[in-house]
Amino acid sequence: MENKKIRVAITHGDTNGIGYEIIFKAFSESNMFDLCTPIIYGSPRVAMFHRKALDMPVNFNTVYDASDVQDGKLNLVSCFDEEVKVEFGKPTQDSGRAAYIALERAVDDYKKGLFDVLVTGPVCKAAMSEVDSSFVGHTEFLNQRLGKPDDDILMILMNSKMRVALVTTHTPIRNVADSITEESVERKLRILYKSLRRDFLLSSPRIAVLSLNPHAGDNGLIGNEENTAIKPAIEKLAGEGIPCFGPYPADGFFGDADYKHFDAVLAMYHDQGLAPLKALGMDDGVNFTAGLSMVRTSPDHGTAYDIAGKNCASENSMRQAVYTAIDVWRNRRFDDIAKANPLRDEYHDRRDDSDKLRDMNDDNSREDK
């Protein structure tokens, strides 16, 4: 397989947050340039303001077209010329507009084939929505701009301990139950299974599916979505040979660390999956959008307005987002080659599930009485 130096585009995010700080810190180590060619999408003026405010000895190569970037340097594509007032610690119209313009430019350049993968810097959704009222997040924005139906993508968040995918993403809690249907659960399970195999090269990934209601609905006494939507989807896919199991009540599942027995967890809504993930380890968390033709990752944290401009933000999540994007890009290339030159059927991963896949639904001892 070609040992290509991957071009990694990185949008600067909200200009009043920690975006430039974590980018500068992530590429302060020279070995990062052995892995990839970084391309910041942002503003030279804003970058210089951050560099001075943070007192960071960083150099970058300013270009006006991504086709002019140079290997071995921290490149910055100038996305706009106008002045942007930087006000650390709060969202403004300027910071939202600057983030939006950089993201738009990056997507346009991706369509032109000017870079390989995209890492998005943290933004303030409220500030972005003042520029585009339809903006609710990077995942939905990229999906729309790349021309795929909303149901064909999946948000996967991961750290060193587990991967969590979501059936619903930025959906108000009052609307979540209506969004949990057999079709939606099945669709997300298929995307997750395909991504685990192609993007992470897991030959037979095990997926745990969480319930929506407390105690997995308690046989319909506390909600019936488990019986009408979640279980039928699991049974259908399991019948096709896809190793998915559940639904598991979230409290017992995470409380007993049962996530350790699976390659990924499918949660029904945002906080159900992300709260335990971040409690287990937020510093190295990564957000990955499965189902896109583009490889897109981001740090699993926000703008961190409370520490913006103080030079105390950790770059670990940004660095992990870059590593993950590179890994997924290479895995997809490897998968394409493997499919073009398949091995014999008997060559596959054999793993014994007998000690891991116990039926946790019937374990009433973990229920809160």
Domain count, the chain: 2
CB 33 within 8 A of CB 72: yes
Residue 358 belongs to a domain: no
Q: Do 266 and 310 belong together in one domain? A: no
Q: What is the pLDDT of residue 140?
A: 82
Q: Do 202 and 337 belong together in one domain? A: no
Residues 79-138 pLDDT 10s = 998 889 999 999 999 999 999 999 999 999 999 999 999 999 999 999 999 998 888 888
Residue 17 belongs to a domain: yes
Residue 141 belongs to a domain: yes
CATH number of domain containing 168: 3.40.718.10
Residue 96 belongs to a domain: yes
Total Cβ atoms within 10 A of residue 290: 23
CA angle 69, 104, 188 (to 5 degrees): 110
Residue 352 belongs to a domain: no
Q: Do 254 and 316 belong together in one domain? A: no
Q: Do 291 and 144 belong together in one domain? A: yes
d(CA 33, CA 51): 20
**Please, where are the H alpha helices in the chain?**
19-26, 32-35, 44-54, 93-111, 125-129, 138-145, 173-179, 182-198, 225, 231-239, 250-255, 270-280, 316-340
Q: Do 10 and 40 belong together in one domain? A: yes
Q: Do 101 and 48 belong together in one domain? A: yes
Residue 69 belongs to a domain: yes
**Across the beta sheet with 117-120, what order do the strands follow?**
61-63, 75-78, 36-42, 6-11, 117-120, 295-299, 286-290, 154-158, 163-166, 264-267, 207-210, 244-248
Nearest CA to 116 out of 332, 354, 335, 336 is that of: 332
Q: What is the pLDDT of residue 133?
A: 84
Q: Do 190 and 254 belong together in one domain? A: yes
pLDDT mean across residues, the chain: 90
Q: Give me the mean pLDDT over the 12-34 stretch.
A: 96
Residues 300-321 pLDDT 10s = 999 999 999 999 999 999 999 9
Residues 133-172 pLDDT 10s = 888 888 888 888 887 666 688 999 999 999 999 999 889 9
CB 129 within 8 A of CB 230: no
Residue 276 belongs to a domain: yes
d(CA 310, CA 52): 12
Q: Do 21 and 92 belong together in one domain? A: yes
Residue 263 belongs to a domain: yes
Q: Do 316 and 179 belong together in one domain? A: no
What is the per-residue burial (b if ≥16 Cβ within 10 Å, else e) of 177-214? Answer: bebbbbebbbbbbbbbbebbebbbbbebbbbbbbbbbe
Backbone angles phi, psi at 250, to 5 degrees: -65, -35
Name the domain boundary from 280, 302, 319.
280
Q: In which domain, by residue range, is 82 found?
A: 1-148+285-344
Q: Do 138 and 177 belong together in one domain? A: no
Q: Do 292 and 268 belong together in one domain? A: no
Q: Do 185 and 270 belong together in one domain? A: yes
The three-state secondary structure class of 109 is helix
Residues 216-232 pLDDT 10s = 999 899 999 999 999 99
Residues 194-216 pLDDT 10s = 999 999 999 999 999 999 999 99
Residues 274-301 pLDDT 10s = 999 999 987 889 999 999 989 999 999 9
